[in-house]
Structure 1
C-alpha cells in the first residue's frame, strides 16, 4: 500500500497528514468536518485557545457519533451498506418470484 503526504489546514493551522490514495477523499472530508466544527466553536462561544477548541470540537463530534450509533441500535437509522444489502436481497427475491411465475 502506497502512502502519500497531503497538506491540510484546520482552524488556520497547517498539518501534513499521511494517507493512502484510497483514503484521501475520506480524510479530506474528515478534515473539513473538524475544521468546520472548530470554526463554529471559535465563532459562537467564549472558548479560546486552540487546544480547548479542539477538545470541545472532539466532544461535539463524539456526541454526534454516539447519537448516530444509538439510533442505529434502535432501528431509527441504517448504515448505507445495510441498506444496499437489504435492497440486493429484495431484488433477488423479486427476480426469483418473477422467474417462478414466468413474468419475464
Structure 2
C-alpha cells in the first residue's frame, strides 16, 4: 500500500498527514468535520486555548457517534454501506439463478 503526504489546516493550524490514496477523500472529510466543530466551539463559547477547544470538539463528536451507534443498534438508523453490500450480493445471486433457468 502506498502512502502520500497531504497538507491540511485545522483551526488555522497546518498539519501534514499521511494516508493512502484510497483513504484521502475520507480523511479530508474528517478534517473538514473536525475543523468545523472546533470553529463552532471557538466562535460560540468562552472556551479558549486550542487544546481545550480540541477536547470539547472531541467530546461533541464522540457524543454524536455514540448517539448514532445507539440508534443503529435499536434499528432507528440504517447502515447504508451494509445495505448496499447486501443488495449487491442479492443481485448477484438473483442473476445467477436467472441465468440457470434461462438456459
Question: Under a length normalisation based on structure 1, what TM-score does the superposition of the two structures give?
Answer: 0.84
Distance 1:21 1:48 in 2: 35
| Counterparts in 2 of 1:86 and 1:3: CA distance versus 1, 3 Å | closer
2:66, 2:84 → 1: CA distance? 23
Number of the residue aligned with 2:25: 25
Describe the SS at the equivalent of 2:47: coil
Render the CA deviation track for 1:19-47: whole Å, top value 9, x for unaligned.
Answer: 11111110000000000000000000110
C-alpha distance in 2 between matches for 1:89 and 1:21: 27
TM-score normalized with structure 2 length = 0.84
User: Pairwise CA RMSD of aligned residues?
Assistant: 2.2
After TM superposition, give the deviation of residue 95 of structure 1 in Å: 7.1
Matched pairs, number: 102
1:34-49 equivalences in 2 (<5 Å): 34-49=34-49
Deviation beyond 2 Å, 4+ runs, structure 1: 85-96
